[in-house]
Structure 1
């Protein structure tokens, strides 16, 4: 972004802040509160819904778990789950589609072949 555009945007934001009575400290405290809230988040779905794991689970967690999804699937701590470890141990020698066109096309799309 060039300097003139940046200055124009800054001036616009300052005008709007003055219009609504918003002080820079208000924005700083709001950002700090959001960052604190995000640090406490333990679970997140693809739509951005979050949950800290405390209290009653929100509706999106209830729906996902009742549909058979593991709660650890939504964990944002980055630790591998037991489910992914099970997948690594699959014996592909008994794959009924091995060597067929179906297996080849999928491998080509994934960039494996």
Structure 2
């Protein structure tokens, strides 16, 4: 630290010794098919759900909870 002109107090003030942030919690499953394949409703619609919608089924049919 002395080579860089830093003190322990400066490092503490900068947060160098703070605990790391917690990882984000996994997304909540909003949709699930009969085989148990999940989709959280974020990102691109999975292929199993695209096929079901193209076959005439509604997305809401697969909603859980």
Q: Normalized against structure 2, the TM-score is what?
A: 0.58
Structure 1 unpaired stretches of 5+: 1-35, 78-113
CA-to-aligned-CA distance 1:55-102 (integer Å, 9 cap, x gap): 10010010000000010000002xxxxxxxxxxxxxxxxxxxxxxxxx
Structure 2 unpaired stretches of 5+: 1-24
RCO higher in 1 or 2 (8 Å CA, sep ≥ 6)?
Answer: 2
Q: Which residue of 1 aligns with 2:37?
A: 49
Say how many residue pairs are matched: 41
After superposing on structure 2, the runs of 4+ consecutive aligned residues of structure 1 that deviate more than 6 Å are: none
Q: Distance in 2 between matches of 1:63 and 1:55?
A: 16
